A and B are shown apart, each in its own frame.
Chain A
Amino acid sequence: MSFLLLVEQLLNGLQLGVMLFLTAAGLTLVFGVMGLINLAHGSLFMIGAFAAAATSVATGSFVLAAIASVAAAVVMGALVEVTVIRRLYKRDHLDQVLATFALILVFSEATRWLFGSFPLYLNIPDYLAGPVTLPGGIDYPLYRLTIIAVGLIVAGGLYLLITKTRLGIQIRAGESDREMIAALGVNISVLYTLVFALGAGLAGLAGALVGAIQSVQVGMGEPVLILAFVVIVIGGIGSVKGALVGSILVGITDTMGSILLPALFRLFMDNASASSVGSSLASMLIYILMACVLIWKPTGLFGARA
């Protein structure tokens, strides 16, 4: 196995991690502030991807497509929060799981009804296509590097938003004591809608960015949703820092596992069974990682409350 391949996989892992972070950040914020477990978050990811694909077909501009993805997800997120999600904050987790599971059914089928069952394609714009040569002579797709950069910029922006702005102070206050900040005159229901829409927008952006690598289709949100859950459980539910660490950890574990494990088993097995055992184990690896973290720290790496 060459060094170049390892570096390339490491970058792929980083790219997957950054993309997961965009999805997981909203999920963990919504849980931290409102105590809500939202399965329909993957649908917002899907809505972003479809909005981007449709806009790209209509205008041909990738930037407009990305903006449309955020806008569509924010609007849809706010709409769902006001009509349905808001009624679930005081309910137990079981009700939240079921109601948001029901929302997935509605969103997926509505999207299938609007756009059909065939996947759409979102093209990478010309100025982002093709490889760049990194120091050390590694050719890596420019578009994937862009995703990493966008993700890191968003992570930085989110950090500033939460630590430096008034909204961020309210979000942090909302996490620690809801009644108190309501008593201090903060309009808590507007704050909740804002947080939900913010998370939705991030998921929508992730959908658009990933949509250009994969195909845009109904059901694309669910695998990402499950991965994002793994991420926030590892990081500690409610912690944005935990979501960042968890995303990178999951992204890198997944991509590195899929090449390192078969290679590891090849040391003491024949080729065919090594790759089958190795890839079986690699596909389970992040769930094993999650189970290990939870056994070691039952509330995740940076989690405070259960």
Chain B
Amino acid sequence: MTKETLFNAAVVLGLIAFPLWAWSAEEPFLITLATRVVILALAGVGLNLALGLGGLVSFGHAAFLGIGGYAMGILASHAQSYNPLMDWPFVIQGTKSMPVIWLVAMTVSALAALIIGVLSLRTSGVYFIMITLAFGQMLFYFAISWPAYGGEDGLPIYVRNSFPGMNTLDPIQFYIVCAVVLAVVLVFVWRLSQSRFGLALNAARQTAERVETVGIGVFRLRLTAFVLSGMITGLAGALLADLNRFVSPSMFSWQFSGEIMIFVILGGVARLFGPVAGAVVFILLEHVLGGLSEFWHIYLGLLLLAVVLFARGGIIGILTGEAQKHG
């Protein structure tokens, strides 16, 4: 067992033990905090698939987070006003059922990722960073200026959506739903990275020409990774909106894209549990530093700067004494 596996096991244990402790101590706020960690980690896992494994530095992943959020917001708002989403050519009703919402959120995110991916993957390097940023901003301004679903003010959802067999209004039960989703996605991403697809993607990040030469289409490989990545982040968006019971254009903001990227880097790029560790540390810092000083972003900035400049393997890299997963 390597040190990294041990570390991962410790993270899993922590994510099980902490909420259970908070539950028994009747601290619903701490459970909500843990739920936030799990959901943001999920968004990070999505980005890590494109960024870590595929080497696609997307600076617009908030786009998918926002799309997932609005998919939930729009469906649930129609359900709570009993107003069908569409009457023609067939009637589509809103819904309060989480599995349906997740499916819609993932489908729409996948479609968006497909369009954004096809256009963005024509470029590379800085241009890729910038064009993904531009698509994120495009959706941000669209959400602000589109009045039907709240525009700049956002869209509140009064009651959390339901999951069959669970009472999602109970913080610990909603936490379990989110944690199971994260676990399933982590297993999926782990299997994916070991698969033929994952290996090819990893190789394409290192030397695209060689992969092309052995007869694997790099563009399709990257596009698939980008779409999967967008889907996972979209799912996280739907869950985040459900946690907050509120969606707003700020879910599309580029600061959010930056934050998701911070989870990935803070934890360690291309490590399976990197985004999870990153999200844990980020929320912990927000909670602890935010309590100490109103200006906690200064410390966050300095810490992040130190990680980028001096600790290139992220937290997992420091703790396990292993250098970067890849350069």
Q: Is the CB of B305 within 8 A of A106?
A: yes
Q: Is the CB of A290 within 8 A of B131?
A: yes
Does A25 sit at the interface, judged by CB under 8 A?
A: no
Interface centre among B134, B144, B296 (most CB of A within 10 A): B134
Q: Is the CB of A93 within 8 A of B125?
A: yes
Question: What are the residues of chain B within 8 A of A102 when measuring CB–CB?
Answer: 300-302, 304-305, 308
Q: Is the CB of A283 within 8 A of B144?
A: yes
User: Which residues 84-117 of A sit at the B interface, judged by CB distance below 8 A?
Assistant: 84, 87-88, 91, 93-95, 97-99, 101-106, 108-110, 112-113
Q: Is the CB of B129 within 8 A of A37?
A: yes
Q: Which bucket holds chain B's interface residue count?
A: 35 or more
- Contact (A280, B146) CB under 8 Å given A98-B262, A113-B295: yes
Does B82 sit at the interface, judged by CB under 8 A?
A: no
* A-B CB contact pairs (8 Å), 25 listed: A31-B126, A37-B129, A87-B309, A88-B309, A93-B57, A97-B59, A99-B308, A101-B258, A102-B302, A103-B301, A105-B297, A105-B298, A105-B301, A106-B302, A108-B297, A109-B295, A109-B296, A110-B298, A226-B133, A226-B137, A276-B146, A280-B145, A284-B138, A291-B119, A291-B134
Closest to B261 in A: A98
Does A288 sit at the interface, judged by CB under 8 A?
A: yes
Does B122 sit at the interface, judged by CB under 8 A?
A: yes
Nearest 3 interchain pairs by C-beta: A105-B301, A106-B301, A287-B138
Determine the main DSSP class of A at the interface with B.
helix
Q: Is the CB of A109 within 8 A of B297?
A: yes
Q: Which bucket holds chain A's interface residue count?
A: 35 or more
Does B135 sit at the interface, judged by CB under 8 A?
A: yes
Question: What are the residues of chain A within 8 A of B295 when measuring CB–CB?
Answer: 109-110, 112-113
Q: Is the CB of A295 within 8 A of B119?
A: yes
Does B265 sit at the interface, judged by CB under 8 A?
A: yes
B contact set with A: CB distance below 8 Å = 51, 57, 59, 119, 122-127, 129-131, 133-135, 137-138, 141-142, 144-147, 254-255, 258, 261-262, 265, 269, 295-298, 300-302, 304-305, 308-309, 312
Closest to B309 in A: A87
Does A192 sit at the interface, judged by CB under 8 A?
A: no
- Contact (A306, B127) CB under 8 Å given A95-B308, A102-B305, A106-B301: yes
Closest to B146 in A: A280
Question: What are the residues of chain A within 8 A of B298 when measuring CB–CB?
Answer: 105-106, 109-110, 113
Interface centre among B122, B145, B296, B300 (most CB of A within 10 A): B145
Cα(A97)–Cα(B304), bound, Å: 11
